[in-house]
Amino acid sequence: MADETLSFAERLRQRFEGRYEVIESLGEITMVVPPTDLHEAARSLRDEREFAFDQLTDLCGVDYLSYGQVEWDTTDVSSEGFSRGVESLGPGRFRWEDRPAADAAAQRFASVIHLLSVRHNRRLRLRTFAADDLLPVVPSVTEIWPGANWFERESFDLFGILYEGHPDLRRILTDYGFVGHPFRKDFPLIGNVEVRFDPEKGRVVYEPVSIDPRVGVPRVVRQDSRYEQSRSESAAGQGK
C-alpha cells in the first residue's frame, strides 16, 4: 500500500527505486525515462492502482536544439522600432549554410507523453529522449495507450522522430512528397516554394512562394504612465 505521507513525486521515486529523474516545477511533475525502459514504466503507470494513468491525453515531439537560447530582448530596449527586440537570428531565420549545428544540445529529440489518472485526478508528464540525434528512434506506446496512434504520426511528420512498433507510421499533416520536418529547429521558416491543390490537374502543385517573409513581434506589456493616466481619467469621469 502506498505511503500517503509521501508526496506523489516521492512515491514515484520510491516505486522506481530512484532509477528515473523526477522533476517538480510550477506545480507539474515530469518523469524522464530512457527509451529502453519506456514500456516497463508505462505499463506500471497504467496498471498499478497507486498510479492508474489510464488515459493518454497528448503526445508530442520536442527539438531541444536551441533550448535555453534567447533571441528576444524585452527588458532593456527602447519603445520604438519594429524589430527593437531582436538580438540575433534565432531558430528558423538563418541562411542554410549558417544553420544551427546538430551537436548544440546534449540530447536533442524527445517524445513527451501527457497522462491523466481519472481515479486519482492527477496528471503526469512522461519524457523520453532519443539516443541518436541523426536517427531519433523511441518506442511506440500505441500498444499501451492506443490513442497515441495519430499523435505519434504527427510527431514523426513534424519532428522526424521514428516510433518503433507503430502500426502505420506515415505523414499526417504535410504532403506525401514533402521533404524535411517543419518543426525541427534547423528547418528554415522562409522558403522558396509553396503548395496548393489544383482542381484542374486534380493534384497538389508546387509554385514560387507568393508572400513576403515577415518577423512576428511578441507582445510585451511594460509599465507605462499613460496607463495610469487613463485609469485616473476614467475614474474621474465615473465620479461626475
For residue range 160-207, list pLDDT tens digits in order. Answer: 999 999 999 999 998 877 888 999 988 877 666 777 888 999 888 888
Of 121, 14, 80, 20, nearest to 217 by C-alpha is 80
Query: Are the beta carbons of 158 and 173 closer than 8 angstroms?
Result: yes
Q: Is residue 141 part of a domain?
A: yes
Q: Is residue 210 part of a domain?
A: yes
Q: Is residue 15 part of a domain?
A: yes
Question: What pLDDT, in 10s, does the model give residues 28-42?
Answer: 999 999 999 999 999
Phi, psi of 232 (to 5 degrees): -65, -40
Domain range for 214 is 8-66+80-239
Phi, psi of 151 (to 5 degrees): -60, -40
Separation in Å, CA 101 to CA 104, 105, 142, 148, 185:
6, 9, 32, 31, 10
Q: Is residue 182 part of a domain?
A: yes
pLDDT recorded at residue 2: 55
Q: Is residue 46 part of a domain?
A: yes
The model carries a pTM of 0.70
Phi, psi of 11 (to 5 degrees): -70, -35
Q: Is residue 222 part of a domain?
A: yes
Among 71-80, 105-114, 218-227, which range has the highest average pLDDT? 105-114
Whether the pLDDT of residue 82 is over 50: the answer is no
Q: Is residue 110 part of a domain?
A: yes
pLDDT recorded at residue 144: 97
Comparing 191 with 85, which gets the higher pLDDT? 191
pLDDT recorded at residue 209: 72
Q: Is residue 223 part of a domain?
A: yes
Residue 74 banded pLDDT, cuts 50, 70, 90: low
Q: What is the mean pLDDT of residues 93-120?
A: 77
Per residue in 145-157, is it b (16+ CB within 10 Å) or e — as a string? beebbebbbbbbb
Query: Are the beta carbons of 56 and 113 closer than 8 angstroms?
Result: yes
CATH number for the domain that contains residue 47: 3.30.460.80
Count how many domains the chain has: 1
Comparing 49 with 100, which gets the higher pLDDT? 49
Of 63, 69, 66, 152, nearest to 110 by C-alpha is 63
